[in-house]
Amino acid sequence: MTLFAKVIGKVQGVYFRAYTQEVARKLGLTGMVRNLPDGSVEVIAVGNEETIDELIRLLKRGSPGSNVTNVEIKKEKSDLAFDDFRIVY
């Protein structure tokens, strides 16, 4: 299962990408997280549906200091493969 998420709110400059990387790695997910020019954060994560759903829950909660107002979610089966979960700059 692959998650494509756009996290909206106060999510840049508040440790959100590092938080996402940390929780995704603890869940055993692979993928990437990066800031987008519009101030949101994009997350792509690959794993089983249960761990993807847990990541979604944690994305909605956000990192300390963040204020998540919305998470746009798309889940689908895909052939995307990542070696790790990385922050993309």
Rounded (5°) CA angle 28-30-87: 115
Cβ distance 60 to 53 under 8 Å?
Answer: no
pLDDT digits (tens, 9 = 90+) for 11-32: 999 999 999 999 999 999 999 9
pTM over 0.95? The answer is: yes
Distance, CA of 2 to chain centre: 11
pLDDT of residue 24: 98
pLDDT digits (tens, 9 = 90+) for 29-79: 999 999 999 999 999 999 999 999 999 999 999 999 999 999 999 999 999
- Cα–Cα distance, 2 to 77 (Å, whole number): 6
pLDDT of residue 73: 98
Active-site amino acid positions: 17, 35
* Residues sharing a CB contact under 8 Å with residue 81, sequence separation 6 or more, in sequence order: 30, 46
Q: Which residue reads 């959100």 in tokens? A: 16
CATH number (3.40.50.1100, 3.30.70.100, 3.30.2320.30, 1.20.1300.10) of 2-87 reads 3.30.70.100
